[in-house]
Amino acid sequence: MVQQVLYRALVSTKWLAEAVRANKVGPELRVLDASWYEPGTRNAQKEFQERHIPGASIFDIEECKDKSSPYELMLPSEKHFADYVGQLGISNQTHVVVYDGDHLGGFYAPRAWWMFRVFGHRTVSVLNGGFKNWVKEGHPVTSEITRPEPAIFKATLDRSLLKTYEEMVENMKSKRFQVVDSRAEGRYEGTEPEPGKEGLEPGHIPGTLNMPFFNFLTEEGFEKSTEELQSMFQEKKVDLSKPLIATCRKGVTACHIALAAYLCGKPDVAVYDGSWSEWFRRAPPEHKISKWNRNKA
């Protein structure tokens, strides 16, 4: 497969269904289910075992992370990532398609897409519409587990797509990067609680703009058109010709901003991996903007 300057970030359910039907899933094309759900809601592993896209493997975000970090979903090392995806039969020549089963049509898949890109792999796409639309359109599903032949993957961290806490602190002074937060408005403002981990209050980093990630998706769960996405960035006064950092709670939905910008022709959006989960625990009080305490009082 010839890699273009901007590799196609989305593939359609129709395209993938044709590839599955033609038995193209293999060393040159791997399909990954990157579903993850908050404990006590849905069981991604069980759902995968019951039904998934034929030939797909699980991309377990809980396994492919830095388990020594106190923060929620920090990137693994180059070696950890290379070993993990190599066991899924992925080499540096493989076209990877990622999807998830979220009811929105996509939640964790853009995180997996960004992870491959940050580790130097450009031939990666998100299944537009996700598993929800795959099933809705009547494409095949299976409970058969595929055990791909392991491959050798070489990971090279692309530092330009990743931001650390220290770099975010520096950016508060330099303002070289625009920063956009993808969480729901209430969590960004501090009027609604953060889900999940106890002790994490809502709020945002000073100077950030808010673009909730679900607004990038249509009601059916497909990515909005390039024209609509460009209008959304313009309305928020986000200049896609200038440096941009995406953030959220734990570096997951921030990747929806990176994907939307990529579809608009901007492939260099960096993600603050620790996001609010790290910032809330490390930043001084004056660097956390929130209405939370006022509401509780």
Which ranges constitute the DSSP H helices of 6-108?
13-21, 44-50, 78-87
Q: Which of 64, 248, 255, 264 is catalytic?
A: 248
Other Cβ atoms within 10 Å of 295 Cβ, number: 13
Residue 255 phi, psi (nearest 5): -70, -20
To the query of whether residue 248 is one of the catalytic residues in this protein, the response is yes
Rounding to the nearest 10 degrees, give the CA dihedral for residues 185, 127, 30, 9.
-80
Q: Are strands 209-210 and 178-181 parallel, antiparallel or unpaired?
A: parallel
Element spanning 167, H or E = helix 165-174
Q: Where are the beta strands (DSSP E) in the chain?
A: 10-11, 29-33, 57-58, 95-99, 124-127, 162-163, 178-181, 209-210, 244-247, 270-272
Ordered strands of the 178-181 beta sheet: 162-163, 270-272, 244-247, 178-181, 209-210
Distance CA 295, CA 297 (A): 6
CA atoms within 13 A on the CB side of 219: 0
Indicate which residues carry an active-site annotation: 248
